A and B are shown apart, each in its own frame.
Chain A
């Protein structure tokens, strides 16, 4: 069964670039989706299908996949980016198939 591993926390200074990783077996062959969740709010889809952004999502956000790691990159980090971030994959090789979320990463803006 697929397990997605994220670092519990990432800290970055304003204006710098934050990279949040999501590790999983052969994840480069899977479509990874990313979400942002702020306290008391529902999650928001940031990146889908590895690299695509829904309308209204900042161009400062980008996604990439390589080997066993997917990465969400946030450039020019702002205070408003402070939130929890989750990766997600549809595990079609599982029987039955299922959605899998990473454990989440708390982004702190210093």
Chain B
């Protein structure tokens, strides 16, 4: 079964740190871009970051640049999100998602996020 499972969420004070993990199984993890997407309570989806198959390219939403770091370990089929200098507005559910697509004619064609975990909850509060 193709799946991703997040872990590492919890309650942290403003300014604190957390490291989220995402364990992938049932597919060749090293063949896919991967993303983190978050959702504040009662709000919509917000993409946070993504990382290329080999980790050589990383992109971030402006609000987390310099504070969050996405990484992966293909040998362990795992994706990570190191979150530092956390703010109250970082509170929410964090989802790990497989970023589907394919390469053709020198271009990467993106097919959206086709596999999602159930999420891990991050609460930033004093």
Binding site for B on A (CB under 8 A): 31, 33, 35, 37, 41-45, 48-49, 52, 54, 84, 86, 88, 90, 96-104
> Which interface class (under 10, 10 to 19, 20 to 34, 35 or more) fits B?
20 to 34
List which B68-126 residues lie within 8 A (CB) of chain A: 95, 100, 109-114, 116-119
* Docked CA distance A86–B46 (Å): 11
B116/A48 in contact, CB under 8 A: no
* Docked CA distance A79–B61 (Å): 35
B59/A97 in contact, CB under 8 A: yes
A31/B109 in contact, CB under 8 A: yes
A98/B112 in contact, CB under 8 A: no
Enumerate chain A residues within 8 angstroms of B37, measured Cβ to Cβ.
43, 99
If A86-B44, A104-B44 touch, whether A31 touches B116 (CB-CB below 8 Å) is no
A31/B110 in contact, CB under 8 A: yes
If A33-B111, A42-B117, A101-B44 touch, whether A48 touches B100 (CB-CB below 8 Å) is yes
Return 30 A-B CB contacts under 8 Å, by A number: A31-B110, A31-B111, A33-B113, A35-B112, A35-B113, A42-B95, A42-B119, A43-B37, A43-B95, A43-B113, A45-B112, A45-B113, A45-B114, A48-B100, A48-B111, A49-B111, A49-B112, A54-B114, A86-B45, A88-B45, A88-B112, A88-B113, A96-B59, A97-B59, A98-B59, A99-B50, A101-B44, A101-B46, A102-B44, A104-B44
* Docked CA distance A86–B112 (Å): 12
B109/A49 in contact, CB under 8 A: yes
Enumerate chain A residues within 8 angstroms of B114, measured Cβ to Cβ.
45, 48, 54
Whole-angstrom distance between the Cβ of B23 and the nearest chain A Cβ:
15
Not counting A31-B110, A33-B113, a sample of 7 additional A-B residue pairs whose C-beta atoms are within 8 angstroms of each other reads A31-B111, A33-B112, A37-B45, A88-B45, A88-B112, A98-B59, A104-B44
